[in-house]
Amino acid sequence: MFEGVKDIKVFKGIGELVTLSSAAARQGRRAAAKDLESIRDAVVVEKKGKIVWLGPRTDLPTKYRSSASVNLKGAVVIPGLIECHTHLIYAGNRSGEFERRNQGESYQSIAKSGGGILSTVQATRDASEGELTKIGQRRIDRFAKQGVTTVEVKSGYGLTLKDEIKMLKAAKALRNARIVPTYLGAHAVPKEFANADAYVDSLIETLPKVRRYARRVDAFVENGYFSASTTKRYLAAARLNGMTASIHADQLTLSGGSQLAIEMGATSADHLVQAGLQEIAALAKSDVACVLLPSSDLYMDIAYPKAREMIDAGAIVALSTDFNPGTAPSQDVALVGILARVQMKMTFPETLVAYTVGAAHALGLEKEIGSIEIGKSCDFAVLSGGLDELFLDVGHMPIARTFCQGLETT
């Protein structure tokens, strides 16, 4: 036996291997049809969760020929999809708000009258860590079946140190995907605090305790939530604690969120519905990924972000569901891609690259995930049909099997 041959798994019978490595080499900027070029009759070799070799079957080194193998029977294989923005852990639901918004009430006025984020906070505080894990696991499994191998999971419905840590611990217990926990203590000002500044002061004190559970923070920079200047103070403290940042930016109003993301070196600015050409030009020049969340725009019945302008200006663009009980109560990955194509006029290659390479950048994990390359995590989705069947049919992703770190999650 060759040394270490038992730790090795050979994925063979790959009809077409779409690696997206050329898109990854450009940080996913300006994705084009050429980025979808595939290796036919390919093999991927995995060791300890990472890719150690890939290429055409005929080139497979002899040392791997007697290793354990998995036959993928001629399927098309793509990099695992990355959900880079979710509020996956929450209790209760806010279906009543959806009805109210459709009948003319605004998100902000519903929040003022006791609904909104703070109503999910109440339900989530009332739930135990075990209950949250159980609810969360069902949701992760729904993503895995759609080809998702990495899920970012925000806290933000606890808003006390104890309840935020409870959410982050529930996130840590989730299986069947790589979980990227994000501390969203700055989601809304809880009733216990008089104003955002006083609350942010208390959040800053929690950072040394929270960083054990999450290495990135997020903040909702918006009128009535957190101003750019208050958030700047918070992000500076997060940086001192060795944490990276993302920002809910320019969603309902142009609140300075995207500018702040650039200034503070955040890995992503998310939503960007209100971002204009000036903001877009600045984002395109930066390494901040523009995370677009069109399901929430659909549910909120607001405009869609200017994805065409972002992509044409050379920005890093990512897509995600924003799955949450208020503005995006849907885990439908196909819907996100379809809205990107129909409403934002993103091409198919741009859509696929945004859900993989772009999303990896949004999480600061571009060296580990997003494309199928030697040295990266062995995360991929095996399609049940052709590449052209992706992001086509609402409610349906043509996925036969999903593998994260070489292990099947479906």
Q: How far is the CB of 326 from ligand NIG (least distance, A)?
A: 2
Chain residues 249-278 in contact with ligand NIG, contact rule CB under 6 A? 251
DSSP symbol at 340:
H
Contact between 322 and ligand NIG by CB under 6 A: the answer reads yes
With CB cut-offs between 5 and 8 Å by kind, which of ligand NIG, Fe ion, none does residue 136 bind? none
DSSP symbol at 304:
P
Amino acid at 23: A
Binding-site member from 322, 350, 366, 379 for Fe ion (CB under 5 A): 322
With CB cut-offs between 5 and 8 Å by kind, which of Fe ion, ligand NIG, none does residue 220 bind? ligand NIG
Contact between 220 and ligand NIG by CB under 6 A: the answer reads yes
The β-bridge relationship of strands 399-404 and 380-383 is antiparallel
Binding-site member from 324, 331, 371, 402 for ligand NIG (CB under 6 A): 324
Report the residue number, 97 or 322, with the smaller CB distance to Fe ion.
322
For the sheet containing 380-383, what is the strand order? 50-56, 39-47, 8-17, 68-79, 380-383, 399-404, 407-408
List of E strands, 88-155: 148-154
Contact between residue 150 and residue 156 where contact means Cβ atoms under 8 Å apart:
no
With CB cut-offs between 5 and 8 Å by kind, which of Fe ion, ligand NIG, none does residue 120 bind? ligand NIG
Chain residues 32-91 in contact with ligand NIG, contact rule CB under 6 A? 87
Report the residue number, 250 or 366, with the smaller CB distance to ligand NIG.
250
Instruction: Burial-class residue 104 by CB neighbours within 10 Å (0-12, 13-18, 19+).
Output: exposed
Part in contact with Fe ion (CB under 5 A); list of ranges 50-58, 67-75, 249-257, 315-323: 315-323
Part in contact with ligand NIG (CB under 6 A); list of ranges 115-123, 145-153, 197-205, 229-237: 115-123
CA distance 300 to 73: 42
Q: Annotate each residue in 231-250 with x if it binds ligand NIG (CB under 6 A) or - if it does not, as one string.
A: -----------------x--
Residue 65 phi, psi (nearest 5): -70, -20
Report the residue number, 11 or 143, with the smaller CB distance to ligand NIG.
143
Task: Give the list of residues 6+ apart from residue 204 with CB closer than 8 angstroms, or none.
Answer: 233, 234, 237
Contact between 83 and Fe ion by CB under 5 A: the answer reads no
Contact between 117 and ligand NIG by CB under 6 A: the answer reads yes
With CB cut-offs between 5 and 8 Å by kind, which of Fe ion, ligand NIG, none does residue 327 bind? ligand NIG
Q: At 219, list the tokens.
A: 């903040």
Contact between 295 and ligand NIG by CB under 6 A: the answer reads no
SS3 category, 375: coil
Distances (CA, A) of 263 to 65, 73, 108, 124: 51, 49, 27, 33
Q: How far is the CB of 87 from ligand NIG (least distance, A)?
A: 6
Task: Tally DSSP H helices, then E strands, for the chain.
Answer: 15, 15
Task: Give the list of residues 6+ apart from residue 25 with CB closer than 8 angstroms, or none.
Answer: none
CA distance 260 to 270: 12
Residues forming the site for ligand NIG (CB under 6 A): 87, 116-117, 120, 220, 248, 251, 296, 322, 324-327
Residues forming the site for Fe ion (CB under 5 A): 322
